[in-house]
């Protein structure tokens, strides 16, 4: 990070890195959960659900990239050990053991709700800092997560008929 950027972020950089790394773990696990869910999905509206899960997987992967880049800019190191993803994650990983579209949607709605809570917490912390770049990035990710929840809930309604 450049001198002026470092001075702006200041003493909160270490805490921000920690919070962003935990969110990074969530994003990678969400990516995999969506990706594998799209592969194993069976049942009502399968093609629609698979398409939505695949799209969300790619967006979670994009979020992971954004977080990793910001962690590096702040002078940190993104999580590099795969086993640390499960240890550091806020929301954990829910294996899609029941491949029905109804179960997958319910599982992923819960994941999005957890992500919304995590990013809301990070934003509250960042409001107390002068790290406007991280704040704006996290706000954008939060907006995406809220849209994901809505997309999944709409598919749930479609399945109910």
Domain map (residue ranges) of the chain: 3-160
Residues in contact with 144: Cβ distance below 8 Å, sequence separation at least 6, in sequence order: 59, 63
Question: 20 or 9, which is more confident?
Answer: 20
Give the single-character DSSP code of 106. H
Place of tokens 């029905």: 100
Q: What are phi and psi of 148, to 5 degrees?
A: -60, -45
**CA–CA separation, 48 vs 101, rounded Å?**
10
Residue 68 has pLDDT above 70, yes or no: yes
CATH number of 3-160: 1.20.1260.10
pLDDT in tens, 69-93: 999 999 999 999 999 999 999 999 9
């Amino acid at each position: 990070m450049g001198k002026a950027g470092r001075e702006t972020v200041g003493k909160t950089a270490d805490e921000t890195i920690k919070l962003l790394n935990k969110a990074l773990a969530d994003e990678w696990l969400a990516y995999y959960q969506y990706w594998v869910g799209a592969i194993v999905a069976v049942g009502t509206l399968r093609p629609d659900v698979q398409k939505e899960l695949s799209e969300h997987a790619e967006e979670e992967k994009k979020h992971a990239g954004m977080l990793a880049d910001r962690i590096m800019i702040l002078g940190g190191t993104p999580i590099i050990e795969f086993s640390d993803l499960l240890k550091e994650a806020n929301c954990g990983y829910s294996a899609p053991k029941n491949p029905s579209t109804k179960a997958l949607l319910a599982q992923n709605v819960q994941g999005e709700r957890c992500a919304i809570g995590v990013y809301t917490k990070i934003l509250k912390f960042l409001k107390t800092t002068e790290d406007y770049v991280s704040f704006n990035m996290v706000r954008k990710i939060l907006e995406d997560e809220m849209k994901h929840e809505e997309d999944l809930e709409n598919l749930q309604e479609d399945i109910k008929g």
